[in-house]
Structure 1
């Protein structure tokens, strides 16, 4: 009898050690796999492997996004885009919005930023957020000003403190046809 009890205890001890080893092995393998998933998260879960692309985008955009042939400002950050039905909408933050408007030709040299010949108020109240359907990222907040030319339209946040200025940085949403 004593031999049987000892054999059962040894088997139970071995199975507990085996379970501990298995748990340690699973834990040791989980950490690196989780790290790899986290490292490549944008490529694994974003459309086209592009962290800037929003869910539902139909086409990839190049590394340098250039609506109407004009690259986004050098300091553009928090860039997101959605592409659908042959058009792209790109949202970004920049402190160089006036320069960007001049480079696109939407605002002629010397024209004031808020000249009604080249733009107009956009119906968005102070602090009211808006993010076009399908576009991800942070929303644009009112008040806002809307500019357009033959191919590109730009919606830009205006300062709530100084209505004749943009905040720095300002969020802009650019809409343009894809080639």
Structure 2
């Protein structure tokens, strides 16, 4: 039996503390590595906090999938409506496919869209949506067809008024089926 003065009794708590630290380090690393999946709604890193519905892997705004090159995608859902933010270099094609801009129309034709009140390099992010903000100037497209219900804000180039930024951030708002 160890003598109370020899320190043998004290070694067990020290060993237990070392074991706890050794086990906590990998556990903390795993939590850090998978934090987006563990703490995001639905385990989807694209979903913003407070979202009430999960969107599919391939997001379709009004039945039209986001551009194939869409990146930095974030979404917020609430009460049957979704807002999706993404970056793309394929904005004209996306707007044509979504029916917001006829094939033969110019992207900034005021018959199909309008300037959105956001000054050059001023930022705005709709309430509830996470991720980077839209930077002005911005152009707004609103679907006018029956049952369409898609609105899209797209960043314009701050130097060439007839072009989009490259890549351009867009925020689409649409009803969830």
Q: TM-score, normalised by structure 1?
A: 0.91
- Is it true that 1:22 corresponds to 2:20 in the alignment? no
Unaligned runs of 5+ in 1: 1-5
TM-superposition CA deviations, 1:70-109 (whole Å, max 9, x none): 1001111111111112110000011111111111111111
Structure 2 match to 1:115: 109
Distance 1:15 1:163 in 2: 78
Stretches of 4+ aligned residues off by more than 6 angstroms: none
**Deviates further, 34-43 or 105-114:** 34-43
Question: How many pairs align?
Answer: 172
Which has a greater percent of helix? 1
SS in 1 for 2:62: helix
- CA shift at 1:16, angstroms? 4.3
Paired residue secondary structure (1:92): strand
SS of the aligned residue for 1:7 comes to coil
Look up the match of 2:150.
152
Matches within 5 A, 1:1-179: 7-10=3-6, 13-150=7-144, 151-179=149-177
- Greater radius of gyration (CA): 1
